[in-house]
Amino acid sequence: MDLHYYDTLIAVADDCPVDGAVVPALRGGKKTVAVIQFDMISGAPGGFTQEDVLFETWLRRQESDAPSASERAELRARLFSRSQACLRASPLPKKYGWGLLFDAAGRVTLCPMGSVEYKEIIAGEVPGMTVLKAMRSKRA
């Protein structure tokens, strides 16, 4: 299963509740999916593919010891042997106002709504860039 986007912006969902990009906060002292994904992507812009982000998010939410390299590979293969929601379902573009920008190599960076880059891409001013909306939180 190929879970990669190339030269694509996952734009903020139509029903996103914020007017600008907001840094997600801990809930009950614990890292949420949004916090984990934000920390990963903002900490290493262009350092991860969609599969990397999905796997690391899943792994960090497990209540277990850090797996060895071979265990990681096995866990990753097992996770992606089943269908997975893509980052269009991520809380970052759904609830927090962050676009997810994928480069030609499929690596992701954050692109805050309201930024010049975000507006240019949405307006179709960046040749070769595909725009996909994040999934809505509620049915239309």
Tens-digit pLDDT profile for residues 28-83: 989 999 999 999 999 999 999 999 999 999 888 887 777 888 888 888 888 888 88
* CB-based contact 55:76 (threshold 8 Å): yes
Burial group, residue 43, by CB count within 10 angstroms (0-12, 13-18, 19+): exposed
pLDDT > 70: what percent of the chain? 96
- pLDDT, tens digit (0-9, with 9 covering 90-100), for 1-10: 456 899 999 9
What integer pLDDT is reported at residue 50 of this predicted model?
93
- Which pLDDT score, from 0 to 100, does residue 124 have? 94
User: Looking at residues 14-36, what average pLDDT do you find?
Assistant: 94
SS (H, E, C) 21-63: CCCCCCECCECCHHHHHHHHHHHCCCCEEHHHHHHHHHHHCCC
Length of the chain equals 140
Q: What local confidence, expressed as pLDDT, does residue 2 receive? A: 59
Q: What are phi and psi of 57, to 5 degrees?
A: -60, -50
Cα distances (Å, whole numbers) of residue 130 to 32, 61, 81, 127: 28, 31, 27, 9
Average pLDDT of the residues in 17-31: 94
Residues 72-131: pLDDT tens digits? 888 888 888 888 788 999 999 999 999 999 999 999 999 999 999 999 999 999 999 999
